[in-house]
Chain A
Amino acid sequence: SQTIHQWPATLVQPVGSPLSLECTVEGTSNPNLYWYRQAAGRGLQLLFYSVGIGQISSEVPQNLSASRPQDRQFILSSKKLLLSDSGFYLCAWGTFSSYNEQFFGPGTRLTVL
């Protein structure tokens, strides 16, 4: 069966510091991968998605970037965090099929102080 991991689970960082969040998927190959951000009490905002190694599409211009160095690894980064980067970051994987089923990881709670 497929599983998706995210780490760290929680992170508190000062403004201006760098960021690296990691997501890995097990039990599937060549998945579509997604990064979402969820502000407190709000919906899900798609940040980046990837259909393959090194292929990244950005949905929202911002202070963040994403990379996919391996088939089942997806990384969200920032060089300098802003207060507005605080939120709950979710990674998801999906299959390239007729239907877009997406399955979410446990999330990373990021607080920028």
Chain B
Amino acid sequence: QQQVKQSPQSLIVQKGGIPIINCAYENTAFDYFPWYQQFPGKGPALLIAIRPDVSEKKEGRFTISFNKSAKQFSLHIMDSQPGDSATYFCAAPSEGTGSARQLTFGSGTQLTVLP
């Protein structure tokens, strides 16, 4: 069974800072590691994902770094803005029965960006 450990639980940065959220997983059924962003009262939205034939993926101000040997991946938010304040979840793949592909989610990081 997949386990995903996410840290920190909460994070406060000043506007323009670079918050970093880390995740560690135990095993992989296949290679796909997404990050989700969730605002209060809303469903999580897929933010960025990496397929680790590369060690880094960048989309706008969001970057995923992946270390396959260490079984770790992290999210960096460049030039963070107050609008980035949200809860962020990492996820790692796990194999379900009946051919369904599943994701195991981290416990979430509540990010606050101060103006």
Q: Which residues of A contact B (CB under 8 A)?
A: 32, 34, 41-44, 46, 49-51, 55, 57, 90, 94, 96, 98-107, 109
B62 contacts A by Cβ under 8 Å? no
| CA of A49 to CA of B104, assembled, Å | 13
CB neighbours (8 Å) of A90 from chain B are 43-44
Measured between C-beta atoms, what is the minimum distance from B110 to chain A in Å?
A: 8
Q: How large is the interface on B (under 10, 10 to 19, 20 to 34, 35 or more residues)?
A: 20 to 34
> Are A101 and B89 touching (Cβ within 8 A)?
no
> Are A99 and B102 touching (Cβ within 8 A)?
no
B107 contacts A by Cβ under 8 Å? yes
Q: Which residues of B contact A (CB under 8 A)?
A: 30, 32, 34, 36, 41-46, 49, 51, 89, 93, 96-103, 105-108, 110
> Are A107 and B102 touching (Cβ within 8 A)?
no
Q: If A43-B89, A99-B30 touch, does A94 touch B44 (CB 8 Å cutoff)?
A: no
> Are B32 and A101 touching (Cβ within 8 A)?
yes
| CA of A35 to CA of B96, assembled, Å | 14
| Dominant SS among interface residues on chain A | strand
Q: If A32-B101, A51-B100, A100-B32 touch, does A43 touch B43 (CB 8 Å cutoff)?
A: no
Measured between C-beta atoms, what is the minimum distance from A33 to chain B in Å?
A: 9
> Are A49 and B102 touching (Cβ within 8 A)?
yes
| CA of A106 to CA of B98, assembled, Å | 27
> Are A104 and B45 touching (Cβ within 8 A)?
yes
Please name the residue on chain B nearest to A104 by beta carbon: B43
Please name the residue on chain B nearest to A97 by beta carbon: B101
Our pick among B32, B42, B89 for the contact of A99 (Cβ within 8 Å) is B32
| CA of A109 to CA of B41, assembled, Å | 8
Measured between C-beta atoms, what is the minimum distance from A104 to chain B in Å?
A: 4
| CA of A31 to CA of B105, assembled, Å | 20
CB neighbours (8 Å) of B30 from chain A are 98-100
Measured between C-beta atoms, what is the minimum distance from B83 to chain A in Å?
A: 19
CB neighbours (8 Å) of B41 from chain A are 107, 109
